[in-house]
């Protein structure tokens, strides 16, 4: 069961990362980057959240099931 949850978290992380990358390439983010020098907060947080969830999902999926019960 934990591997299924880990894979689901990993998949959600991939989706968030893709959304973050697309938000970084959006017109609004490019305009913000032109004037402020940095992309929009939404794009940055989606990208960071995606990477964190991918790492967490991989760790959860890789751990032996006995390690989580203790």
Q: Is 37 left (phi over 0), alpha (psi -120 to 50) or beta?
A: left
The pLDDT of residue 70 is: 55
How many angstroms separate the CA atoms of 54 and 43, rounded?
17
- pTM for the model stands at 0.80
pLDDT tens, the chain, 70 aa long: 889 999 999 999 999 999 999 998 888 888 888 888 888 889 899 999 999 999 999 999 998 876 555 5
Q: In the prediction, which pLDDT does 19 show?
A: 94
**Cβ–Cβ contacts within 10 Å for residue 34, how many?**
8
């Amino acid at each position: 069961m934990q591997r299924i949850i880990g894979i689901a978290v990993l998949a959600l992380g991939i989706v968030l990362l893709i959304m973050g990358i697309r938000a970084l390439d959006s017109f609004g983010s490019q305009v913000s980057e032109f004037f402020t020098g940095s992309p929009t907060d939404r794009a940055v947080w989606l990208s960071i959240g995606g990477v964190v969830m991918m790492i967490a999902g991989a760790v959860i999926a890789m751990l032996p099931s006995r390690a989580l019960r203790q």
